[in-house]
Structure 1
Amino acid sequence: MKMILPIFVLSLLFSSSYAAVQDFCVGDLSAPEGPAGYSCKKPAKVTVDDFVFSGLGAAGNTSNIIKAAVTPAFSAQFPGVNGLGVSVARLDLAPGGVVPMHTHPGGSEVLIVVQGSICAGFISSANAVYFKPLKKGDIMVFPQGLLHFQINAGGGPALAFVSFSSPSPGLQILDYALFGNNLPSELVEKTTFLDDAQVKKLKGVLGGTG
C-alpha cells in the first residue's frame, strides 16, 4: 500500500502536466491582435504552411526617402510564431540607406550582416552611445526599448537579417513620431528646441501637418 500511493500520485502529476502542455498557438489572423498576441487557431485548422514563411528571399523596395526596406516575419505575417517569443525580418539598405533612430518597445533585437557594411548602434537610457561599423558575419544586439539605428556604411547594397525576442516587437521611428503627424509645430519646437522653419521643413518632408 505504501508503494502504490506514491506511484498513484506521480501518475496523476505526470498526466496533469501532459494535459496542460500546449505545443503552439498559431495566430488566428481573422481576429484582432491584443496585448498578448492573437487568439489561437483551432488545431484542426492548423497546417504546415502556418509554420513556414517564404517572404524573406526577395529584396525589399528601397526606392523611398530612407533608401531602406524592412520585410517583417512577425505574427501578423507569420502566424506560426504567435506566442513563441520570436520573430525575424529582412533589412535591405541601398547605398546611402538608413534606418533612422527607432525603438522596438516589445522586444530585443539581434542583427546579423550578410552583405555589405552597416554602421549600427544604440543609445542607453543613461545616454551612453554604443556604435560600430559591422561587416559580413558580424552580429550586434539592441536591447529592448532603446533607440537604435542602422546606416549603410559601404558603396554597395547591404543586407542583414534580424531576429526579435517577441512575435510582435512593435516599431516607433523617432523622426516620424516627431514630424510625421499632426502635433502642432509650436509644441514640437518647444520640446525639441528647433526653430519654426526647421520644424515646418521636416513636417513637409515626412508628411506631418500642424
Structure 2
Amino acid sequence: MERAPRLRKTGGHAVDLFRPAMDITERMGVLPRVEAAKTATTRLTIVREGRNAPVCVDLTKVLGAASDRHVEIMRDDLSEIYYDATTADVEYVFDDSITSIEDDLVTFERNAPRRFDIVVGADGLHSNVRRLVFGANVQEAFIGAYLAVLTAPKGRVLDGEMRSHVGAGRMAGRYGARHLDDERVVFLFRSARQLVRDYALAS
C-alpha cells in the first residue's frame, strides 16, 4: 500500500547491503542490476575542525572488514529493482492509505475494506500505521541527535568520494553516485534537547 500515485522517485539516501541482504538479492535474481546501480563510493575524505590536512580513508578496506559482501546503492534505485522483481507475485496498491485497523479488518481512503493476516507498517518515522494501532499518544524516543539529507547540484565532490567536515558533535558531508545527475548533502548533529520543528514543512 502506497499513498503516492506511483513508485516514489524522490532522491533518497544511500543504503548499504551486507551479506544477508546480498544473498537474498542474489536469490531474487537481481544482483546484477543492484551491482550495476551501486554508488561506487570507495573513499572518505574527512576535514576536521582546526586541522589543515584532511584524512583519507579507504572505504573498501573498512567495509571489507565488516562483511565479505557489500554494495552501497541509492534507496530509490533499490526499491525500483525490488519492485520490478516482485510485481508478478505481489499486488501493489498505489494512491491510497490505511484509515483504520480493527483486528484483521483494514479500511482505506479509496478502496473497499479488506482482511489481512498480517499488517506491516513501514511508513516512516511518523507512521500512520503505528498511530492507528497504538494510538496518537505514542511517544518518539529522542536519541539526542538529528539527521537531515537533501539533494544538491553535482560537481562538488570527486567521483567515488564522500567528503565530510567534522566537528565536536556535528558533521556535514556530501557524496554522489556515478550514475546520478545530482549529489546528496548530509547533516548530522547532537542536541541536548528536542528542537521544535514543523513536520509539514519537513515532509
Fold shared by both chains (TM-score > 0.5)? no
Interval of TM-score (by shorter of Structure 1 and Structure 2): under 0.3
Taking structure 1 as the reference length, what is the TM-score of the superposition?
0.21
Higher Cα Rg: structure 1 or 2? 1
Taking structure 2 as the reference length, what is the TM-score of the superposition?
0.21
